[in-house]
Chain A
Amino acid sequence: MTSIPDAKAPAGEVVLEAIGLTKHFPVRRKLRDLFSHRHDVVHAVDDVDLTLRRGQVVALVGESGSGKSTIARLLAQLYPRTGGDIQLHGETTKVRGGAAFRRYCSQVQMIFQDPFASLNPTHTIRYHLTRSLKIHGNAGTTASDLAQALDDLLERVQLTPPERYLDKFPHELSGGQRQRVAIARALGAGPEALLADEPVSMLDVSIRLGVLNLLRDLRDRLDLAILYITHDIASARYFADQTMVMYAGRLVEGGDSETVTQSPAHPYTKLLIHSAPDPDRMIGGSEAEGEDAGNGEPPSLIHPPTGCRFHPRCPVAMERCRTDLPVPLQIGDVPGHWAACWLYDSDDKAEVKQ
């Protein structure tokens, strides 16, 4: 969405940008397909534009299977892309392992969902962090440089005093502490962009906000660009500056987090917000209303629906939705708020894409 004016003044420079990013996974062919010329693929991610700016958090919200983790892995160069482009500081990246991958990694780091699996149980915290520092050349030259760097890392993620944690093994730490170690390890590379793939969904409820607040603090102090992937749209509102909503491999709506969650435009975003737990809506209260917000399940991504991928579930689908792929359209007069939905197509509104 490069041509869409930002909701806030574009204070941050663009760090990482995806343009028309596409990823198709091949499906194993069945015997009968050998004689036909069918090559089925899973359309995991199609034509996604995404911009990460310095000092900003962008949330990517969607159901499981919508392709949000695939985007994180594409941006981390863990998968080769099928189409489109990933630009780091405006330059196309071509990474196929080796030194190029390592250079890329030192600028773009990933935080994984499960801190119980992402740390090696046979190594201490010191080992994890030292490796990250050494590989990316941030360990300094002397032993005291390294010790200082380790202390700094742990203090940055609020694991203080550092000496209490350095020689512990992952199993001696709680989930929240482990995720902080994983964040410290990512920071050890001195990155400019962090890709956080559901960083808090495996943690206890009472400590989730602590980790989110830490990430926000890091964004401000280190001017990081953060991609926050989540299925919880309420936490996106809390934590992110921008929110993008994804459905079945495509982005369907995006804009300022407050605008997207308070006045959603796309029927899918509305469904998502309607479905989120809301304590204000007590049992038996207003439960009856709004039940036609759209039912059913996400489509198969091997043969995704033509036109808008949401049309089979959409309560307001029109004839056009079945055939034409909706383009991102400007919504209202809030700058930067767009939705890919034909409902908002009128002559006076120009397409924002292209």
Chain B
Amino acid sequence: MSSTPVLEIRNLNVEYGLGDQAVRAVRDVNLTLHRGEVLGLAGESGSGKSTLAYGMTRLLAPPGVITGGEVIYHPEKGEAYDVLGLSDRHLQAFRWAETAIVFQGAMNSLNPVHKISTQLTDVLRAHRPEMSEAARNARAREMLKLVGIAADRMEAYPHQLSGGMRQRVMIGMALILQPQVVIMDEPTTALDVVMQRQILGQLIELRERLGFSVIFITHDLSLLVEFSNRIAIMYGGRIVEEAAAAAIYKDSLHPYSQGLLGSFPSLRGPRRELTGIPGTPPDLKGMPSGCSFHPRCPKAFEPCSTNIPVLARPDDSPRSVACWLHPVKEPVG
């Protein structure tokens, strides 16, 4: 894994609605995705993780508005550019070919009245108009084989496939133009654990073979620790901690990360009493002042309720945390 960035998010802000009614769903997010890595994005519902994914790909539907920031994309060849500044025509070329997204509940995002083959080749027809029909079909077959589906299922309709197979088709479809970045928004939430492991295992293997980067969004932190290289944890629209997966698991610095890790009962080790996190996730309309986690935080002290902590490095290691318990040494970015 190299450390060259492929996607850099700088000070991204996303709001829903306009004026006084606006709700800030993503606040001043800075995040860098490196080439070939799996970056996990964890958080509870309403923490802004999906909004962040839609914001950086410009898929936000109204009333969602990007109110500030930059998303710098580094193509394999050529100059880096800001995705947020692309014209419609360039954006159309950028989508899918450079950045593909697998949506939440992807098994239901296939069109029920079209065959798998039609839906797979449709992408090629739009993005690679120079390809012959035979070449398109061959490519679609190849993709199905890559995700572990027999090529004779090409002529099947979505309802003839199981949930797991539909999810594989979606992953194959996302990879068909060989994008550099694949964003997966809760890709396996609707699947059983056995299928989840098979699909994620396969995805990791494909990533090693094809070399794309993955942003993996889920609320299941224990899954992320296992399958990603680096993890960013979001709370109330901000990233509160970002570090290597092992560092998050073994010694997380932010009390919210610690609480989130303590919310998953373990299958091994001693059976101990767990408490989860007291209170309820914040309402984006009425965010607490200061650190948005302070009303639920067991370690909150005096500056937490008034001052917003910035995401910064607590020491020399390549990790950052936004918490007054770990004051700033070197601001990030």
Contacts and interface: CB of A to CB of B under 8 A. Distances in A.
Task: Tell me, yes or no, whether A binds B.
Answer: yes
Interface stretch (B48-56, B139-147, B194-202, B313-321): B194-202
Interface string B255-283: 00001110111111001001111101100
B219 A204 contact: yes
A280 B264 CA distance: 13
Contacts of A208: 263, 276
B79 interface: no
Contacts of A64: 192
Given A207-B280, A283-B228, A234 B219 contact: no
Interface stretch (A77-85, A271-279, A328-336): A271-279
A206 B222 contact: no
Interface in B35-52: 38, 44-45
Most chain B Cβ neighbours within 10 Å, of A207, A273, A274: A207
Interface string A218-253: 000000000000011111011100000000000000
A63 B192 contact: yes
Contact of A204 (B44, B201, B246, B274): B44
A213 interface: yes
Interface string B179-208: 000000000000011111110010010000
B220 to A, nearest CB: 6
Residue from B193, B228, B261 having most chain A Cβ neighbours under 10 A = B193
A347 to B, nearest CB: 33
B229 A283 contact: yes
Contacts of A297: 162, 164, 195
B245 A282 contact: yes
B120 interface: no
A276 B275 contact: no
Given A63-B192, A205-B264, A283-B38, A295 B222 contact: no
Given A174-B281, A176-B280, A273 B267 contact: yes
B44 A233 contact: no
Given A206-B44, A278-B267, A282-B225, A213 B194 contact: no
Given A64-B192, A207-B276, A281 B162 contact: no
Nearest to A233: B267
B249 interface: yes
Contacts of A280: 268
Contacts of B152: none
B195 A234 contact: no
Contacts of B221: 205, 279
A153 to B, nearest CB: 20
A209 B194 contact: no
A205 B246 CA distance: 20
Nearest to A200: B276
A152 interface: no
B204 A261 contact: no
Contacts of A231: 192-193
B227 interface: yes
Given A63-B192, A204-B44, A282-B245, A234 B275 contact: no
A64 B280 CA distance: 28
B332 interface: no
A205 B194 contact: no
A272 B164 CA distance: 16
B210 interface: no
A287 B193 CA distance: 15
Interface string B204-243: 1000000000000001111101111100000000000000
Contacts of A69: none
Contacts of A238: 265, 271, 274
B241 to A, nearest CB: 15
A210 interface: yes
A174 B222 CA distance: 24
Interface in B79-96: none
B194 to A, nearest CB: 5
B274 A283 contact: no
B267 A276 contact: yes
Contacts of B219: 204-205
A277 B223 contact: yes
Scoring B38, B195, B219, B260 by chain A CB atoms within 10 A of each residue's CB, the highest score goes to B195
Nearest to A293: B194
Contact of B220 (A237, A277, A287, A295): A277
A132 interface: no
A177 interface: yes
B216 to A, nearest CB: 11
B275 A237 contact: no
B265 A278 contact: no
A258 interface: yes
Most A CB within 10 A of own CB, among B219, B222, B276: B276
B267 A63 contact: no
A238 B275 CA distance: 11
A210 B262 CA distance: 12
B276 A277 contact: no
Contact of B225 (A237, A258, A279, A291): A279
Contacts of B223: 277
Nearest to A211: B276
A271 B268 contact: no
Nearest to B273: A213
Given A204-B219, A275-B194, A277-B226, A209 B263 contact: yes
Contacts of B198: 295
A205 B44 contact: yes
Given A174-B280, A206-B277, A283-B228, A271 B194 contact: yes
Nearest to B189: A201
10 contacts: A63-B194, A204-B219, A205-B276, A207-B280, A209-B274, A238-B274, A273-B267, A275-B196, A279-B225, A282-B226
Interface of A: 63-64, 174, 176-177, 204-210, 213, 231-235, 237-239, 258, 261, 271-283, 287, 291, 294-295, 297
Interface of B: 38, 44-45, 162, 164, 192-198, 201, 204, 219-223, 225-229, 245-246, 249, 259-261, 263-268, 271, 274-278, 280-281
